[in-house]
Amino acid sequence: MVLVQICHAQVTADTKSAEIPANLDNKRVAVLRYRIAAQQELALPKLKKESLIVFLRGQSAKRTSDKGTADSFEATPERVLWNRGGVAYSFSNLSDSPVELLVIELKDSYAIAQMRVPYSERDPLNLDPQHYRELFQNEHVRVLQMHLAPREGTTEGQFADRLEIALSDMRATEAGVEGKTREILRDAGSVSWEKAKMHSIVNVGDQPLDSIIVELRHPFCYEIPDNLNEMPRASPAMKAYISKVSETVDRKWIKNMPRAVRGEESKGLVLLQFKIESQGTVPEDDIRFQTVFADDARVGNALRAVRDSGPFPAFPPDFQEPFVRVRFFFLYNLPRQPPGCR
């Protein structure tokens, strides 16, 4: 995780444009922060790529482009704007209090041939509309706002690669798919870059928690796990055992593929983790989804492949562990190495 703490610039009453106190810059995005003093104007640099404007605070503002277009709006965190690449924009603060905004340049905005993030049955917007709402969406990004009252938590949801922008001080716990939790402490205005993940959040603070989530819709990046590489000390017999397990699951997956899924162009990805006990049994309550970018048919197909494959043979005699955990990726119309991710 890349976490950038952004401090307020020192701005006098007659300052016309804000300084840039800090930024976030990686392979996917570049983030800059600006502050516009009351009744003042700020000219943004002309960016080559398309960009998103997210307001952290403000009342009323106007945007003008070098193409002659202009629009006025409320400069609140609920307002998200799209800036075209190669166009110069300026913002006028029409109120008597400062406006603060983030400019998020999308470095891959012109790479239209890249794979886009598939639909997820675990989409947080569908599963938990009480705590998430959509502010903006196009072919490049989706912007969500999350709101949690004190002690409230979200439903576990699948997120794509994203920026998370804290609108308020954050004191929360995050629960991952394996049951592990971690504490999250962020100041209002902080920006972090997060990889695709399925998780839930609980606000453990005494104040409401608000944040903006900017999900990138492309490129769709993932890594295929290798169970054998994750067992470097396994004997040749145990490695052969794991390979046989993989072949069995693959056969069941293909054999039981629903007709509705076969031959379709829509894409999907499911990552399952399950435990195999020494006698070859697979406990039903230990089959866990770790990544879900797929619809119900594809999710069910992957789950049935694991269930129908067991029980497996007992472990080889030279392997004395009580169980092993293995992970399987199920790819639907997706390559093993996604383009634009390395």
Mean pLDDT across 317-334: 92
Helical H segments across the chain, by residue range: 124-127, 236-255, 296-309
Two tokens, residue 126:
């569908």
Mean pLDDT across 233-252: 92
Which residues on neighbouring strands pair with residue 147, listed in sequence order? 210
Average pLDDT of the chain, as a whole number: 90
Is residue 231 within 8 A of residue 154, CB to CB? The reply is: no
Distant-in-sequence contacts of 130-134, Cβ < 8 A, 24+ apart: 131/155, 132/157
Q: Nearest CA to 198 among 247, 259, 144, 157?
A: 157
Task: Look at residue 225 in the predicted model and tell me its pLDDT.
Answer: 83
Confidence of residue 139 (pLDDT cuts 50, 70, 90): very high
Angstrom distance (rounded) from CA 29 to CA 48? 13
Mean pLDDT across 44-63: 95
**Is residue 322 classed as helix, strand or coil in its secondary structure?**
coil
Task: Look at residue 132 in the predicted model and tell me its pLDDT.
Answer: 98
Please tell me which residue, 18 or 327, carries the higher pLDDT value. Answer: 327
User: What tens digit of pLDDT does each residue of 11-48 get?
Assistant: 344 455 565 555 789 999 999 999 999 999 999 999 99
Which domains, and CATH codes, for the chain? 2-106 (2.60.120.10), 124-216 (2.60.120.10), 236-332 (3.30.1150)
Please tell me the pTM assigned to this model. Answer: 0.89
Residue 283 CB neighbour total at 10 angstroms:
12
User: What tens digit of pLDDT does each residue of 89-103 get?
Assistant: 999 999 999 999 999
Is beta strand 132-137 parallel, antiparallel or unpaired with respect to 162-166? unpaired
Confidence of residue 233 (pLDDT cuts 50, 70, 90): confident
Is residue 59 within 8 A of residue 91, CB to CB? The reply is: no
Q: Which positions ≥6 away from 229 have C-beta within 8 Å? A: none
